[in-house]
């Protein structure tokens, strides 16, 4: 029988906690980007007028066109990073097996035409529990999206599970 470690938290995690990544910056959001996203998301139905009808959007509390919450100005990069190799489901031993624990989005401010969006991420928290699979580590990564005025557009908390 393999002995179970006291913790799966390692020095690398301790060093990385609350260390924000360099920002990734989008091109300016355009009305056309928002309109196309709305069409794609609501297809085959007509998207809400707030996402494409400038006259209507002016009469709303937003005072103009805004993007749907799930709009992603990073969705069509010209250059793409090659994803890192992923571990197999079997992993390499205790603490190396993992799975996605889900995510929660918090929407703060609407994206508008002309916004230049920046995104940055950091490991912000973790907790451990003993379960059927042994010691399990839940890591929380936060991704923040801000506009050119440094206002938070949205935050995402993603949970990574290792056991």
User: What string of pLDDT tens digits covers the 163 residues of the chain?
Assistant: 556 778 888 888 888 999 999 999 999 999 999 999 999 999 999 999 999 999 999 999 999 999 999 999 998 777 777 666 555 555 566 666 788 999 999 999 999 999 999 999 999 999 999 988 888 999 999 999 999 999 999 999 999 998 8
Paired tokens of 153: 């557009």
pTM: 0.80
Q: What whole-number distance in Å separates Cα of residue 31 and Cα of residue 4?
A: 55
Residues 19 and 52 in one domain: no
Residues 127 and 68 in one domain: no
Q: How many CA atoms lie within 13 A of 125 on its CB side?
A: 7
Q: What whole-number distance in Å separates Cα of residue 6 and Cα of residue 8?
A: 7
Domain that holds residue 134: 8-27+95-163
Q: What whole-number distance in Å separates Cα of residue 2 and Cα of residue 135?
A: 12
Residues 102 and 151 in one domain: yes
CATH code where residue 131 lies: 3.10.129.10
């Amino acid at each position: 029988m393999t002995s179970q470690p006291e913790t799966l938290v390692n020095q690398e995690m301790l060093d990385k906690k609350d260390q924000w990544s360099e920002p990734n910056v989008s091109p300016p959001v355009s009305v056309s980007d928002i309109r196309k996203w709305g069409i794609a998301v609501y297809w085959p139905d007509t998207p809400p007028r707030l996402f494409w009808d400038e006259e209507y959007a002016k009469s709303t509390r937003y005072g103009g066109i805004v993007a749907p919450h799930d709009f992603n100005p990073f969705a069509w990069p010209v250059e793409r990073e090659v994803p890192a190799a992923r571990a197999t489901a079997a992993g390499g031993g205790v603490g190396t097996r993992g799975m996605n624990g889900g995510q929660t989005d918090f929407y703060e401010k609407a994206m508008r035409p002309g916004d230049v969006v920046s995104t940055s991420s950091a490991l912000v928290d973790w907790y451990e529990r003993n379960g059927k699979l042994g010691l399990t580590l839940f890591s929380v990564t936060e991704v923040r999206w801000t506009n050119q005025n440094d206002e938070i557009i949205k935050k995402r908390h993603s949970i990574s599970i290792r056991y």
